[in-house]
Amino acid sequence: MTESSMPRPGNVTTPLLSVKGLRTWFHTFGGIVKAVDGVSFDVAPGEIMGLVGESGGGKSMIGFSIMGLIDPPGRVEAGSIEFGGRDLARLGEDEMRSIRGKEIAMIFQDPMTALNPLYTIGNQIEETLALHTTLSARERREKAIEMLHKVGIPQPEQRLHHYPHQFSGGMRQRVVIAIAMIARPRLLIADEPTTALDVTIQAQLLRLMRQQVEESGTSLILITHDLAAVSQMADTIVVLYCGRIVERGPAGDIIARPRHPYTRGLIDSIPHETDIDGAKRRLSQIPGNVPDIRKLPPGCAFAPRCPRASGLCRMQDPVLSEREGTGDGQGPRRLHATACHHPLTVSP
């Protein structure tokens, strides 16, 4: 947390990515699924942003919307995705293709399925360079070896000739990270990059990713439902519920002083190490389930599960309103926004 509240060079400059009013909807037979419904956030150069929320909240769809990889029946209905002076939501497929992999890269949740089983990993790493650079085959190979070395794959010269099935899950995810990072993208979207792996490897890979983005000055959107992971890495946190942002702000501020009852619930359900047996235990869990996104209740979507819900909550949508972030004395002023009629008050 101390790390994340340190001023980063990016905070004062113009954002690298600016998402405004993004709506990504799926037109299904059962009705419109508003997977992303009016989401806005900025990512500064070099910033690590955590995107958290329960399953189905729309985290992946935000990532895919930025990448221009929403497939029918889905569609970006409205909003803008400004990146480096261009609105990605309005770019054609050809222009988008030259950005994917080169300027914006993405890491998928499941390393077991993200690599093509029929090609060597060397081939798959080089492919990114072949697509986006004019390097010769030999230079590409050298870069691939260097990158594999960086992500901690032993004997990269030999491993280059191996197929994905010859790697463990953790090693495959390292390969995927290498593929994503090799063209030195300006923005990396990591969609739950470690959830499919076991705990010790999770920590290793998160550390590795953080080191890589810091080294190259890449901005990172870290998608996860694990608030604990994000609290250690992120500069800012965006909390998503049913396709909408419920809370957004500096990471330290959000973890220490959440204002939205949903965020509070997420924080309370982070497992803690108990002194006695060392086992992890959830202190509490948010009651109830995520509602069907096609049949959201009127008013606040969280109302059925919220301990603070009132009549007003069930009638009127709370809007995301910004307030000055509290706490962190140093660093530029960051805004802390919450969409709640009855936000938790900051204890003095």
Asked if residue 78 binds ligand SF4 (CB under 6 A), the reply is: no
* CA gap 26, 292 in Å, rounded: 14
Measured between its terminal Cα atoms, the distance across the chain in Å is: 20
Contacts of 289 (CB under 8 A, 6+ apart): none
Interaction partner, residue 67 (another protein, Mg ion, ligand SF4, none; CB < 5-8 Å by kind): another protein
**Whether the Cβ atoms of residue 243 and residue 34 lie closer than 8 Å to each other:** yes
# chain residues binding another protein, by CB under 8 A = 28
Interaction partner, residue 74 (ligand ATP, another protein, Mg ion, none; CB < 5-8 Å by kind): ligand ATP
Contacts of 191 (CB under 8 A, 6+ apart): 59, 60, 63, 106, 107, 108, 109, 223
**Whether the Cβ atoms of residue 14 and residue 42 lie closer than 8 Å to each other:** no
The residues pairing with 336 across neighbouring beta strands, listed in sequence order, are: 323
Asked if residue 189 binds ligand ATP (CB under 6 A), the reply is: no
Identify the residue among 68, 74, 325, 343 touching ligand ATP (CB under 6 A). Answer: 74
Asked if residue 234 binds ligand SF4 (CB under 6 A), the reply is: no
**Site pattern 282..321 for ligand SF4 (x: CB under 6 A):** ------------------x-xx--x-xx---x----x---
HSE-up of residue 28 (Cα within 13 Å, Cβ side): 11
Least separation, in Å, of the C-beta of 39 and ligand SF4? 17
Instruction: List binders of another protein among 159-218 (CB under 8 A).
Output: 163, 165, 176, 179
* CA gap 102, 237 in Å, rounded: 25
Identify the residue among 3, 54, 127, 268 touching another protein (CB under 8 A). Answer: 127
**Whether the Cβ atoms of residue 290 and residue 54 lie closer than 8 Å to each other:** yes
Q: Which amino acid is at 87?
A: D
Identify the residue among 60, 212, 218, 231 touching Mg ion (CB under 5 A). Answer: 60
Asked if residue 35 binds ligand ATP (CB under 6 A), the reply is: yes
Sheet-wide strand order for 17-28: 31-43, 17-28, 74-83, 86-87
Instruction: List binders of another protein among 20-79 (CB under 8 A).
Output: 67, 69, 72
| Closer residue to ligand ATP, CB minimum distance, 56 or 252 | 56
Least separation, in Å, of the C-beta of 132 and ligand ATP? 27
Asked if residue 267 binds ligand SF4 (CB under 6 A), the reply is: no
Asked if residue 65 binds Mg ion (CB under 5 A), the reply is: no
Q: What token pair was written down for 208?
A: 């590795």
* CA gap 314, 143 in Å, rounded: 56
Asked if residue 193 binds ligand ATP (CB under 6 A), the reply is: no
Asked if residue 296 binds ligand ATP (CB under 6 A), the reply is: no
Asked if residue 60 binds ligand ATP (CB under 6 A), the reply is: yes
Q: Which residues here bind Mg ion, judged by CB under 5 A?
A: 60
